[in-house]
Amino acid sequence: MKVGIYVRVSTLEQATEGYSIQEQTDKLKKFCDVKEWSVGEVYTDPGFSGSSLKRPGMQKLINDVEQQKIDAVLVYKLDRLSRSQKDTLYLIEDIFLKYNVHFVSLNENFDTSTPFGRASIGMMSVFAQLEREQITERMQMGKVGRAKAGYFHGGGVIPHGYIYSDGQLIADEKESKIINYIYDQYLSGWGVQSIAKQLNEKHITAKRAVKWSHKVILEILCNNLYIGKIKWKNETYDGLHAPIISDDKFYKAQELMAKRKTMAVKVNQQPFKSKYMLTGICYCAVCGARMFTIKSYSTKNRKYIRKYGCYSQSSVEHMIKDPNCDNDKYDGLELESYVLQRIKKLSMNPKTLNRISESKKAIVSPAGTKSQIKDTEEQIERLLDLYQNGAITYTKIEKRIEELNAQKDSLNEQLKKLESEKLNKSSSDKILKVLSNATDVIESKDYDAQKRLTHALIQKVTLKHDKVTIKWNF
């Protein structure tokens, strides 16, 4: 019998339990000599956890089993294979037994070629899983204990402003100044995105060499670690590390953040109200920036003239896309009049109206497809129940489950399409209603009504020198 030997060890186990790769391999090879089995290949995973099957040695073993290159798999101990009950049973039942490959564990004296061995494997997998969960629990308890004692947990990314040495956080002088600068800028009225942009433009870097972003700045402003606190599992404890920010500065930042959030919610709850017709939907096609309205006094006409100009040519720093943008400025009344005439022409075009009307034809109700998906899921559940109750082997239902899952995926795609069509139908109804009143609105000279008409029908207007491009909402 040709045997594949599998050995795995983590750094901790190698140091404390004596499960080194070489020790396991030697013992397993001697066992094969006694049994007069030939060793095909030794599959090793040094330093890999048993909680996942994503290990190079394990993946090669699975591939060789499927290629029927070996007749049996031998391990030193059951938990070398996996510490997960689910993964252990998957390997034994769906990989090894499926391809008529025996599984033998030296330490537990298990052999799946016998009925007793197969039954014992299931029981031992339960205890292996229990052991892993107990280890995880002990680690969590240890981290809670560290937090209560005022120590940083030490895992993950070390926060900006500190270095981690000998189990403790130590304030970094250079980065502490950056943290204070961020708080000072925020309290002076700067926004989170503007602070990040400023730091990047000034090439102010931290030890992690990450690009400053909205997320990074916000995390710094919200982290009470900077006033000497330790947070773990939604509980806060007094830390042993030195604070970087004063309590007063930190809590003022929290108050300002809450105030800005409340204001943002109020603004977002209000419908968009632009002062001018194309505000919010008009863009520069040269650099991609928004267009805004400019008022300038004409000495020739002795009155103010309103124009649309590119934000890149303004002094609003955060709106500039390209300071070298050379797009033109456009007479506001002429541009708006042109857009309204395009809308009027469109509303009187039979081909356009027919196309929109065609898109709102009756569609199949998604309810029937949802019912089919539910039936398919119930079929899969019934097959899995039979398998779990021992009434049928997984090999016998595997192909049918694959077919049902493929059918379910197909039905879900069909459902998405139907729901999208239903949404488009509703949108088409609204567009046709707006177009039916377009001429009256345009001729009414009601500027607010014309603004609403324009925003209902147009998604985007782009301007590039003498070219005006309109992207419609349908």
Active centre residues (catalytic): 10
| Whole-number CA gyration radius for the chain | 34
Query: Which residue do the tokens 């947990």 mark?
Result: 153
Q: Which of 278, 258, 261 is nearest to 269 (CA)?
A: 261
Q: How far is CA 321 from CA 193, 203, 252, 281, 429, in A?
A: 15, 19, 33, 16, 37
Q: How many CB atoms lie within 10 A of CB 441?
A: 19
Amino acid in position 224: N
Place of tokens 């050379």: 326
Q: Which helix (H) or strand (E) is 110 found in, with range?
A: strand 110-111
Which residue reads 């398919």 in tokens?
Answer: 376
Query: Tokens for 115?
Result: 């009925």
Helix/strand/coil for 452: helix
Q: Which residues pair with 72 in a beta bridge?
A: 3, 102
Q: Name the nearest CA neighbour of 244 among 253, 257, 235.
A: 253
Angle at the Cα of 77 (from 76 to 82), degrees rounded to 5? 120
CB count, 10 Å around CB of 269?
7
43 vs 57: CA distance, rounded Å? 5
CA–CA distance from 179 to each of 150, 197, 232, 355 (Å)? 21, 15, 22, 58
